[in-house]
Structure 1
Amino acid sequence: MREHGTSRTHLRWAALAAAGALALTACGGDAEKEPRPPQGGTASPGVQLPRLDGEKLQVAAVWTGPEQENFTKVLKEFEKRTGATVTFVPAQDPIVTFLGTKIAGGAPPDVALLPQVGALVSAVQNKWAQPVGPEAQAQLDKNYSAGWKSLGAVGGTQYGVYYKAANKSLIWYNAKAFEAAGVKPPKTWKELITAADTLSASGTPAVSVAGADGWTLTDWFENIYLSQSGPEQYDRLAKHEIKWTDDSVKQALTTLGELFGRRDFLAGGTSGALATEFPKSVTQTFTGGDRPAAAMVFEGDFVAVNIAQTQAKIGEDALVFPFPAVGAKAPVVSGGDVAVALKPSKGAQALLTFLASPDAAQIQAREGGFLSPNKSVDPAVYPNDIQRGIAKSLIAAGDDFRFDMSDQAPAAFGGTPGAGEWKALQDFLANPSDVAGTQAKLEADAAKAYGN
């Protein structure tokens, strides 16, 4: 079994759940009352960067659309400060395979942003990754909690900078659709199913599920599993210390089937859900006035980027509540993207230093749909109260979270389109009654990927 070295950072989880619920509850309809900070954000002495005139860098990430556009603004600021020229290289999932091809061809990017802990471990094991330099380490020590630093380390050596975080325990909802159906945000799974029934009976399907993107289905499962079985069991399954044929997995899949098994709950029914990619799952929830394609969409704080592509206003038309408690406590699952240098160059280390500073994060935070684990980022730069509250709760919680389970797994199991956990859960969405078959497939793929 491969050790991902993350469970030691996962101390407690109730504090973040409570903080997140409080922050989101406080973010009613006053999302735009605080003024948007001027370009440049709050006063900052600025991180010191070397001059890199004439140096050309490439940065690879799987980001597309607005997320890529907003990150490009960060790279432009780096160019302005250093004189370097930086090119964004769109990567494909699984990113480890993409990078392996680039490295085999003798043309690796200088820096890559990896969306899985498992991908970071693979990069280190393949001897692709460079340890962070002293300047980047100084920024990490100044701006990051021990938990987020540890997630970027392998074998006690710091390799990565967690530039972007995600709270993956949020459900966004269309305020008009909820009002029309007389539904209130649920606090428990039972209340969620009741609300879904009421919404669907009113003529608006309850949930927009991005079934074409398997990673969203892993997030559904993880939130249910964490709340239902608890953090210790979650850690054991994440490391494959227990099998996917365990009764705890059966219980979580059966619970998820209560939602996925009701075709009338899903926008477009089962076939529609399986054909819906993540961006569409969001936009179709916030178009159509009080008769959208669905009343709710589940995913992280980054949903705000896609809401911004509609006419809906966050804090008024688009509201959010924490993932309901399935067991005794509501779940809090986090994710993130870690920046890693793949070349031993001055430019790559300078970019890691910049990304570990509040200067870089504040540029993208201002655009919305972005959450930074950097505790030195001024919360005022976030564009509305909802995103500001999510950011504050993340920082206030310190190390009290659980990291995305599929992102801890080997990429062959937890991070590959059309394979492993992604494919098994897509098949489960197509046939939610086949719990045993889904478990058997998950275990076979996990055993192969973990090597045990």
Structure 2
Amino acid sequence: MRRTSRIIRTRRSPENHVTAPRTRRAAAALAAGVLAVSLAACGGGDDDGNSDDENKGGGETGTTVTLPKLDGASLEVAAVWTGAEQANFKKVLAEFEKRTGAKVTFVPAQDPIINFLGSKVAGGAPPDVAMLPQPGAIKQAVDKGWAKPLGAEAAKELGENYSQGWQDIGKVDGKQYGVYYKAANKSLIWYNAQVFENAGAAEPKTWDELLTTAQMVYDSGVTPFSVGGAEGWTLTDWFENVYLSQAGPEKYDQLARHEIKWTDPSVKEALTTLAEIWGKKDYVAAGALGTDFPTSVTQTFTGGDQPKAGMVYEGDFAQVNIGETKAKVGTDAKVFPFPAVGDAPPVVSGGDAAVILEDSEASQALATFLASPDAARIHAGLGGYLSPNKNVPASAYPNEVQQKIAKALVDSGDDFRFDMSDQAPQAFGGTPGKGEWKILQDFLKNPEDVAGTQAKLEADAAAAYGN
């Protein structure tokens, strides 16, 4: 769709209160140009052309934000992160402890985190800060009276380091509650380079080319796709990329706000397109409904040139799981943008926002730190992480693949679409075994039932949105 104006228009859903950027050109450029063909992993040279001074520089030991002394203070931070993701975040928290003297405890949370927080609040022991993965969850936390607005210092840091679009998705009723500390480019397909070479396959740019590539991989003796169907959010991500590219950003925004129904012909078209892969015999690795996301990634890059699958769709964060194998990102494990289904490639983003539940000098200081380049640069250097903070240079990331992904995200400014299911009420878009997650799992099992899937999606969406 043509971009006709520089104006970013916003509309609010009474359920989500999520700003929806309306521009498109830069978003298409992001998807098309985020990765060059055959990106090679390398060390972190500053390939963005900016000096440290231009980026409020500093590296892991640099300081760009002043924090108070908090000797004797203690904080709890809750998130659903596990494994390397949790371990790396703890290193960021350790730097905060070093600078302030505060003691920070990481509290492992379960999904959906809103339910976890509800039990903590009911027990009189909520964490001081929670990392919320959905704008809808921020809205729920505000409506329940749990979330506290950011103070002046945190808001100032956020304003200096984030585009307006990333600030707005952390707002509810015009007040800033969330710091989107962690972002994701969820429009990427990772592939086993040796499998592609054996099959004579090239990186596809369109959906039809993807289907051709999949057939070439299949003919070479390898199942084309690994799908982590045990976790419904991976399936919503598949749908959102197809739908955004095929139906366009206007329809995407309307469906995200439930202004059009899931029985709309555009949804039928997207599900029918998905079925070209999900419903193709032997195109998806066996046991997809029992395969969790980490396994869906690792099984694509283990087994030499005979892995369980040649490709796996998911965001930049898949690098964490690739790192658990012997595959080297950029050499053994390569990546291409999600192919264009319609006129332009899709650009779907997600993220995790820090939200204060217990207002104190220490919790506000942590939010300020997480909004600064300092925290993001530490985490960026550890890999498997992407920041929307525009003052974190590409050189902070450990390899060329991540440097290009990060630079493209920042360069896109406000031109992106946020994960649709994350914008929905959690009962529909963010609860295991329910709503969109469960219905798309059923569709993965039976991709022929397009009409039935649409009817179930609409019934559950109507109940969750209240319309």
TM over 0.5: yes
Aligned to 2:190: 172
Cα distance in 2 between the residues matched to 1:248 and 1:407: 20
2:369 to 354, 363, 367: 354
User: C-alpha distance in 1, partners of 2:120/2:133?
Assistant: 18
Partner of 2:16: 4
2:448 to 430, 433, 449: 433
Matches of residues 55-74 of structure 1 in structure 2 within 5 Å? 55-74=73-92
Q: Give CA-to-partner distance per residue, 1:181-204, whole Å, 9 cap, x none.
A: 000011111111111111112111
Instruction: Describe how 1:37-56 pairs up with structure 2 within 5 A.
Output: 41=59, 44-56=62-74
What is the one-letter code of the residue matched to 1:222?
E
1:28 equivalent to 2:39? Answer yes
What's the RMSD between the two structures over aligned residues? Answer: 1.5
Structure 2, unmatched stretches of 5+, are 1-12, 48-57
Q: Cα distance, 1:52 vs. partner? A: 1.1
- Determine whether 1:107 maps to 2:125: yes
Determine the structure 1 residue equivalent to 2:212.
Answer: 194
Letter in 1 for 2:42: E
Residue 326 of structure 2 corresponds to 311
Cα offsets for 1:223-278 (capped at 9, x unmatched): 0000000000000000001111111111100000010001311112xxx1111000
Task: Report the Cα distance in structure 2 between the residues aligned to 1:324 and 1:300, rounded to whole angstroms.
Answer: 14
Which of 387, 390, 396 does residue 405 from structure 2 map onto? 390
Does the residue aligned with 1:263 lie in a helix, a strand or coil? coil
Q: Report deviation, 1:22.
A: 2.2
Does the residue aligned with 1:321 lie in a helix, a strand or coil?
strand
The partner residue of 2:96 within 70, 78, 81 is: 78
Partner residue in 2 for 1:244: 262
8 Å contact from structure 2 (residues 30, 347) kept in 1: no
Q: SS in structure 2 opposite 1:25?
A: coil
Whether the aligned pair in 1 keeps the contact of 2:37 and 2:203 (CA below 8 Å) is: no
Match runs of 1:203-218 below 5 Å:
203-218=221-236
Secondary structure (helix, strand or coil) at the match of 2:34 reads helix
Once residues 301 and 27 of structure 1 are traced to their aligned partners in structure 2, the CA distance between those partners, rounded to angstroms, is 16
Whole-angstrom CA distance in 2 between matches of 1:68 and 1:398: 28
Q: How does 1:338-417 map to 2 (within 5 A)?
A: 338-417=353-432
Q: CA deviation at 1:149?
A: 0.4
Cα separation, partners in 2 of 1:347 and 1:33, compared to 1, 3 Å: closer
Aligned to 1:162: 180
Secondary structure at the counterpart of residue 382 of structure 2:
coil
Distance 1:230 1:98 in 2: 35
**1:135 alignment partner, one of 153, 160, 184:** 153
Structure 1: which amino acid aligns with 2:65?
Answer: V
- C-alpha separation between the residues in 2 aligned to 1:67 and 1:45? 23
* Displacement after TM superposition at 1:333 (Å): 0.4
Stretches of 4+ aligned residues off by more than 6 angstroms: none
CA distance in 2 between counterparts of 1:377 and 1:161 reads: 15
TM-score, normalised by the number of residues in structure 2: 0.93
Contact kept in structure 2, 1:358 and 1:377, CA below 8 Å: yes
**What is the aligned counterpart of 2:112 among 94, 99, 103?**
94
Deviation digits for residues 356-387 of structure 1 (CA, Å, limit 9, x no counterpart): 00100111111111000000112101011010
- State the shift of 1:16 in Å: 2.8
Q: Secondary structure at the match of 1:373?
A: coil
TM-superposed CA distance for 1:54, in Å, is 1.2
Question: What's the TM-score, normalizing by structure 1?
Answer: 0.96
C-alpha distance after superposition, 1:379-406 (max 9, x if no partner)? 1010110100000000000000000000
Between the two proteins, what is the percent identity of the paired residues? 65
* Structure 1 or 2: more helix by fraction: 1
Check whether the contact 2:422–2:430 (CA below 8 A) recurs between aligned residues: yes
Which one of 284, 288, 301 corresponds to residue 316 of structure 2? 301
Task: Give the partner amino acid of 1:49.
Answer: L
Tell whether the 8 Å contact from 1:27 to 1:389 is kept in structure 2 after alignment.
no
What CA deviation, in whole Å up to 9, does each residue of 1:393-444 have, x standing for no partner? 0000000000000000000000000000000000000000000111111111
Preserved contact between residue 333 and residue 404 of structure 1 (Cα < 8 Å): yes
User: CA–CA distance in 1 between the matches of 2:383 and 2:239?
Assistant: 26
**Which residue of 2 is the match for residue 253 of structure 1?**
271
Q: Is the 8 A contact 1:211 1:273 kept in 2?
A: yes
Q: Deviations over 1:300-333 (max 9, x none)?
A: 0101111111111011001110000000111000
Distance 1:333 1:106, change over 3 A: same
Aligned length: 445
Q: Is the 8 A contact 1:20 1:390 kept in 2?
A: no
SS in 1 for 2:140: helix
Shift of 1:291: 1.1
In structure 2, what is the Cα distance between the partners aligned to 1:100 and 1:382?
A: 36
- Tell me by how many angstroms 1:42 deviates: 6.6
Match of 1:262 in 2: 280
Asked if structure 2 preserves the Cα contact closer than 8 Å seen for 1:16 and 1:394, the reply is no
Matched, 1:222 2:240: yes
